[in-house]
Chain A
Amino acid sequence: MNLRVAKALFKSFVWIMLTILFGLLQLWLVLGSSLLIRTFNVSYEKIFLDGVLLFFVTAVVTALATDYYFSDRPYPGWAETIMFAFFPFVIIVLFVWLFGICLGREDLDIDIEGLKNVEYAVLFMTFIYAIVVKFIEFFHEENLKK
């Protein structure tokens, strides 16, 4: 692994960690409080099904895709379409669907486990999306420095 790749990987990792830290600060505070205050209980299932994470990941995916369209757009059209239109579109449509289902879960006959699996998959996809997009972006920047 050369220095540029290592630097780009490190930066993308730090970027995603800082985004998760500050983007979900309220959640960390609530979870921290629940650990310190015994009478204050937080249900992880409620956090998942209330859509807190969905709002956060929607913001991250949208920001990444929008940033690209305001940059110097260095990638070919087909790659641009897959990475900054198709993939974010799939993720966001899923978020909307998931959020709708989560809202109506009490009235609908829904398999919560299946729903959770989709949410895990979407969260994983978002994580992969963010880290890969930032890696490619930072790697491109590193290359421009030479």
Chain B
Amino acid sequence: MNLFIYQFLLPLLALSTFAFLVTAAILYYKEQKSNYEIAWVYQGNALLNLKRYEEALESYQKAIELNPQFELAWLYRGFALLNLERYSEALESYQKAIELNPQSEIAWVSRGAALLNLERYSEALESYQKAIDINPQSEIAWRNRGFALLNLEKYEEALMSSTNMESPQRF
């Protein structure tokens, strides 16, 4: 019995405790790191408000480097790129945000905005439709959907979309 306890059981306990503590330390480190990701995004937002888009973009890039799964960083990166008129890159950024959270209405609306600027109206329309599916009360989605339809020369539908925008609850 003693042999079992001292040569097998206690070392096993020590090993399990060690594995547990290492895991906890990694989780703590990740949790700490998430503070920095958010700090970079906050800095990026401040720079975005100051219209210092290149610097804002760098901040969002730093946040993404720390955590590539950080959806908000991808979304804001898209805003910075949109303001820099780098629409294709903005589109990629929004695409990534959507991959991470397919239910993000704002990501679909923003994707639509990038596509509108790239004059890819049909795809923009699909994007706005998706945003409306997620939130039928989204005024910006209805309005921009109307704009996409206008560019596709579907005037009646565009008018309906605008009417919806004014009182979306009817639909």
Interfacial residues, chain A to chain B (CB-CB below 8 A) = 75, 78-79, 82-83, 86-87, 90, 94, 109-111, 114-115, 117-118, 121-122, 125, 128-129, 132-133, 135-136, 139-140, 143, 146
Indicate whether B160 reaches chain A with its CB closer than 8 angstroms.
Answer: no
15 inter-chain pairs at a CB distance below 8 angstroms, sorted by A residue, are: A78-B23, A79-B27, A83-B24, A87-B16, A90-B12, A94-B13, A114-B6, A115-B5, A117-B5, A118-B9, A118-B13, A125-B13, A125-B17, A132-B20, A135-B24
Bound CA–CA A94/B16 (angstroms): 12
Name which residue of chain B comes closest to A88, CB basis: B20
Name which residue of chain A comes closest to B17, CB basis: A125
Taking CB atoms, residues of chain A closer than 8 Å to B21 are: 128, 132
Taking CB atoms, residues of chain A closer than 8 Å to B17 are: 87, 125, 128
Taking CB atoms, residues of chain B closer than 8 Å to A118 are: 5, 9-10, 13
Chain A interface mostly: helix
Q: A90-B13, A122-B13, A146-B38 are in contact. Are A111 and B20 (CB under 8 A)?
A: no
> Are the C-beta atoms of A75 and B27 separated by less than 8 Å?
yes
Shortest C-beta distance, B122 to chain A (Å), equals 38
Chain B interface mostly: helix
Shortest C-beta distance, B39 to chain A (Å), equals 9
Indicate whether B31 reaches chain A with its CB closer than 8 angstroms.
Answer: yes
> Are the C-beta atoms of B19 and A82 separated by less than 8 Å?
yes
Indicate whether B117 reaches chain A with its CB closer than 8 angstroms.
Answer: no
Shortest C-beta distance, B31 to chain A (Å), equals 6
> Are the C-beta atoms of B13 and A143 separated by less than 8 Å?
no
Bound CA–CA A115/B34 (angstroms): 43
Bound CA–CA A135/B13 (angstroms): 21
Taking CB atoms, residues of chain B closer than 8 Å to A129 are: 20
> Are the C-beta atoms of B6 and A82 separated by less than 8 Å?
no
Bound CA–CA A143/B38 (angstroms): 10
> Are the C-beta atoms of B31 and A132 separated by less than 8 Å?
no
Beyond contacts A114-B2, A121-B13, A132-B24: 6 other A-B pairs, Cβ-Cβ < 8 A, are A79-B23, A82-B19, A87-B17, A94-B9, A118-B13, A129-B20
Indicate whether B155 reaches chain A with its CB closer than 8 angstroms.
Answer: no
Per-position binary interface string of chain B over residues 1-38, scored 1 when its CB falls under 8 Å from any chain A CB and 0 otherwise? 11001100110110011011101101110010011001
Taking CB atoms, residues of chain B closer than 8 Å to A146 are: 35, 38
Taking CB atoms, residues of chain A closer than 8 Å to B28 are: 135-136, 139
Taking CB atoms, residues of chain B closer than 8 Å to A79 are: 23, 26-27
> Are the C-beta atoms of B1 and A110 separated by less than 8 Å?
yes
